[in-house]
Amino acid sequence: MARIAIGGFQHETNTFAPVKAGFADFEMADGWPGLTTGDALFEVFRGINLPLPGFIEQAKAAGHELLPLLWCSASPSANVMRDAYERIAGDLVSGIKALSRLDAIYLDLHGAMVAEHLEDGEGELLERIRKIVGPDMPIVVSLDLHANLTERMVRHASALVVCRTYPHVDLAETGARSAEVIDRLLKQGPLAKAMRRADFLVPLPWQCTLIDPAMALYGEVAASETRNAAASASFAFGFPPADIHECGPAIVAYGETQAAADRVADNLIGALKSAERDFAGKIWSKDEAVAHAMLKGLSGRPVILADTQDNPGAGGNSDSVDLLEALIRLKAEGAVFANLYDPETARIAHEAGLHNSFERAIGAWCGSPGLEKLSGRFEVLALGDGSFKATGPFYRGNHMQLGPMALLGIGGTKIVVTSRKQQAADQAMLRHLGVEPAQQKVLALKSSVHFRADFQPIASEILIVAAAGDNPVDNSTLPYRHLRKGLRLMPLGRAFAG
């Protein structure tokens, strides 16, 4: 039995987004639990689809003693503020320092954290921890599929274990796999590592593992690990809207020998490179998408419009009303737009009361350049306190706290308004306001891919729409300055020239 310290610190940073993440954002519960410390880590996370509880369950079953530090996450946004990073990283480091006897460390990190003062949030944290515990202690880290893997992370972690699905329905399983790797390290000693990088970025909608080529590639990650008896094989697609040197897809593999690790890494990078031409799909303009959806959408089989460029799960503010404007202008009957993050509008709706209406310019309040508000008279169709249990496979089991919510109506379109920012990736968000998703003709969802876990089964068609927002599908429109030279901004696209 080993004594293993456990903790987590998660942020996915869109360096182009307008709003940074401060300490309060990590403290607050939203779609995931708020900042949690000590023994509460065992209670709060039980049954939730996150790596930490998956690790806890597996490691406890293996008989290990777990020493809880802290876990926190903040909604994706611009850089983590220096003070927040130093406070949380500092607490993790001092927590580890204070432990008298320690055999291993497990951390539940994201892998795409950029702070105000450093590019590689996870690499820096791992280096600080490695300095305290020395070169031999097993440190295993689970990471999100959107991790921008860095050489520093690979150097200081004994093993990095990346999730394999997008929508991320295997987060808990990724934690369990991390526990197996830590067990192996404790019993058999260190593993050889191999890292490889791709030289092109893949936009989020085409990273989805429910469709090819990503589906086939992730099948190969698991198959290659088994075929080569590797200890662990991982492929991270990276998070494109991060203006950092080591942005982009990468492979990391671990084996008994360097040759074994190299073989797996070479195989996977080869498969990725030969799939470059297959990362392509139609991007719809908002008017074209709304017109198509009105024609094809049926109650019982809605057409889903993915408002990907304002996906709050990728640093958008969820306050763009650009696609909503098209729904209203084109008189989309039976359409629901979710989730508009607009606390002031939610407050006014609650004040106005059920079945009353009010006039207001809604949305576009976070300050993103190029976004416009939408003026109109809105009827209050339903009100909620934003406290409910998620039912879909992605947010599975988590108790959502989205603050005061309202369902507004204008013409034939309904709008789900929240007071906290959360990706529209769970049907319970709509049902909380009395909307049965399957009965709508058109669902416009602020999400790139995660919505598919819960909504794809009820959809007749899914269209990826480019309406105004902070997370462009076309990476070549982003004003990058810090990428490495030669990295192609899109599959088969133009290379970054420096």
Binding status of residue 246 toward Zn ion by CB under 5 A: no
Which lies closer to Zn ion via its Cβ, residue 111 or residue 334?
A: 111
- Please choose, out of 146-154, 252-260, 408-416, 473-481, the segment that lies near Zn ion by the rule CB under 5 A: 146-154
Which lies closer to Zn ion via its Cβ, residue 248 or residue 376?
A: 248
Judged by CB under 5 A, the number of residues near Zn ion is 2
Q: Distance between CA 156 and CA 130 in Å, rounded?
A: 6
Smallest gap, in angstroms, from Cβ of residue 281 to Zn ion?
A: 19
Which lies closer to Zn ion via its Cβ, residue 144 or residue 173?
A: 144
Which lies closer to Zn ion via its Cβ, residue 146 or residue 488?
A: 146
Which lies closer to Zn ion via its Cβ, residue 146 or residue 452?
A: 146
Among 281, 279, 240, 284, which residue's Cα sits nearest to residue 492? 279
DSSP assignments along 188-222, one per residue: H---EEEEEE-SB---GGGG-TTSTTHHHHHHHHH
Q: Distance between CA 252 and CA 147 in Å, rounded?
A: 12
Smallest gap, in angstroms, from Cβ of residue 204 to Zn ion?
A: 9
Distance of alpha carbon 304 from its chain centroid, rounded?
Answer: 20
Which lies closer to Zn ion via its Cβ, residue 170 or residue 243?
A: 170
Q: Distance between CA 409 and CA 247 in Å, rounded?
A: 41
Tell me the two tokens of residue 32: 């995931």
Binding status of residue 122 toward Zn ion by CB under 5 A: no
Between the alpha carbon of residue 303 and those of residues 250, 264, 338, 354, the distances in Å are 34, 40, 14, 28
Which lies closer to Zn ion via its Cβ, residue 146 or residue 196?
A: 146
> 3-class DSSP state for residue 160?
strand
Q: Distance between CA 231 and CA 248 in Å, rounded?
A: 24
Binding status of residue 144 toward Zn ion by CB under 5 A: yes
Q: Distance between CA 126 and CA 120 in Å, rounded?
A: 10
Smallest gap, in angstroms, from Cβ of residue 145 to Zn ion?
A: 5
H runs (alpha helix) in 307-406: 322-329, 343-352
Which lies closer to Zn ion via its Cβ, residue 325 or residue 454?
A: 454
Q: Which residue is nearest to Zn ion (CB)?
A: 146
Smallest gap, in angstroms, from Cβ of residue 73 to Zn ion?
A: 11
Smallest gap, in angstroms, from Cβ of residue 482 to Zn ion?
A: 21
Q: Distance between CA 443 and CA 462 in Å, rounded?
A: 10
Smallest gap, in angstroms, from Cβ of residue 318 to Zn ion?
A: 16
Is there a contact between 409 and 337 (Cβ–Cβ < 8 Å)? Answer: no
- Please choose, out of 143-151, 169-177, 323-331, 411-419, the segment that lies near Zn ion by the rule CB under 5 A: 143-151
Tell me the two tokens of residue 374: 């939408």
Smallest gap, in angstroms, from Cβ of residue 76 to Zn ion?
A: 8
- Please choose, out of 62-70, 137-145, 280-288, 297-305, the segment that lies near Zn ion by the rule CB under 5 A: 137-145
- Please choose, out of 39-47, 139-147, 187-195, 291-299, the segment that lies near Zn ion by the rule CB under 5 A: 139-147
Which lies closer to Zn ion via its Cβ, residue 120 or residue 144?
A: 144
- Please choose, out of 90-98, 138-146, 353-361, 473-481, the segment that lies near Zn ion by the rule CB under 5 A: 138-146
Smallest gap, in angstroms, from Cβ of residue 18 to Zn ion?
A: 20
Binding status of residue 146 toward Zn ion by CB under 5 A: yes
Please, how many CA atoms are within 13 Å of residue 446, restricted to the half-sphere of its CB? Answer: 33
Smallest gap, in angstroms, from Cβ of residue 168 to Zn ion?
A: 6
DSSP assignments along 417-442, one per residue: EESS---S--THHHHTTT--GGG-SE
Smallest gap, in angstroms, from Cβ of residue 222 to Zn ion?
A: 18
SS (H, E, C) 300-325: CECEEEECHHHCHHHCCCCCCCHHHH
Is there a contact between 243 and 16 (Cβ–Cβ < 8 Å)? Answer: yes
Binding status of residue 441 toward Zn ion by CB under 5 A: no
Peptide bond into 68 cis (omega under 30): no
Among 204, 466, 472, which residue's Cα sits nearest to residue 316? 472
Which lies closer to Zn ion via its Cβ, residue 11 or residue 146?
A: 146
Smallest gap, in angstroms, from Cβ of residue 160 to Zn ion?
A: 15
Which lies closer to Zn ion via its Cβ, residue 76 or residue 138?
A: 76
Smallest gap, in angstroms, from Cβ of residue 13 to Zn ion?
A: 12
Which lies closer to Zn ion via its Cβ, residue 242 or residue 293?
A: 242
Between the alpha carbon of residue 486 and those of residues 188, 298, 306, the distances in Å are 40, 46, 31
Which lies closer to Zn ion via its Cβ, residue 240 or residue 491?
A: 240
- Please choose, out of 14-22, 142-150, 201-209, 213-221, the segment that lies near Zn ion by the rule CB under 5 A: 142-150
> Element (H or E) spanning 445, and its range?
strand 442-445
Distance of alpha carbon 68 from its chain centroid, rounded?
Answer: 24
Smallest gap, in angstroms, from Cβ of residue 206 to Zn ion?
A: 14
Interface residues with Zn ion (CB under 5 A)? 144, 146
